Amino acid sequence: MEEMIVEAPVADQRSLRRVLGHFATGVTVVTVGGDVPHGMTANSFTAVSLDPPLVLFCVGHTALMHAALLEAPAFGVSVLAADQEAVARYFADRDRPFGAEEFASVDWLPGARTGTPLIAGATAHLECVPWRTYDGGDHTIFLGRLLTAGSRPDEDALLFLRGRFHQLRPTTSDVIG
């Protein structure tokens, strides 16, 4: 017997968030460097193109990161490892310090090409330059062209599903492609 899917009005943001939360995502911290470094937890991240190498993520218009990204010559993306839930929560906390002090309690390293802060212990690091921006309703869609990319292939990733953090432990039979 097939289960009934409960539909929610699209205009109800709380219900819509709950429905969209059924799509599991990875968890990243997007960072900018410079005189006022800043970081933000983002799970709206995806690969776009291999040629040219492009990634995208979305940032709300009211987020401090939005203005920072519009001015930044480069940005970093750290794909968080399974044991970095505390880091994800920290960079999602609106009450954390701002600027250089924001990174004082977090292990990080400067990106090799841009110096942008990258989160130590992450399963992957990317350094990017802004490529394009697009209107996305109450968000802006930021596309970045990759300058550097590196990963720790045996490190498990942190996931976000239904409003909670999860860990996925892949096996060799799970590899696609």
Total domains in the chain come to: 1
pTM of the model: 0.85
CATH number at residue 140: 2.30.110.10
Residue 4 resides in a domain: no
Residue 9 resides in a domain: no
The string of pLDDT tens digits covering residues 110-128 is 999 999 999 999 999 999 9
Backbone angles phi, psi at 34, to 5 degrees: 90, -160
Of 127, 107, 121, the C-alpha closest to 156 is 121
Contact indicator for 139, 60 with CB cutoff of 8 Å: yes
Radius of gyration of the chain (CA): 17
Q: Is 156 exposed, middle or buried (0-12, 13-18, 19+ CB in 10 A)?
A: middle
pLDDT 10s per residue in the chain (177 long)? 567 666 656 666 677 667 665 556 679 999 999 999 999 999 889 999 999 999 999 999 999 999 999 999 999 999 999 999 999 999 999 999 999 999 999 999 999 999 999 999 999 999 999 999 999 999 999 999 999 999 998 888 887 666 666 676 556 655 555
Q: DSSP strand E in the chain: where?
A: 25-26, 28-32, 38-42, 45-50, 53-60, 75-79, 108-110, 117-119, 124-136, 139-151, 158-161, 164-167
- Which two structure tokens, joined as six digits, stand for 95? 């009450």
Residue 77 resides in a domain: yes
Residue 68 resides in a domain: yes
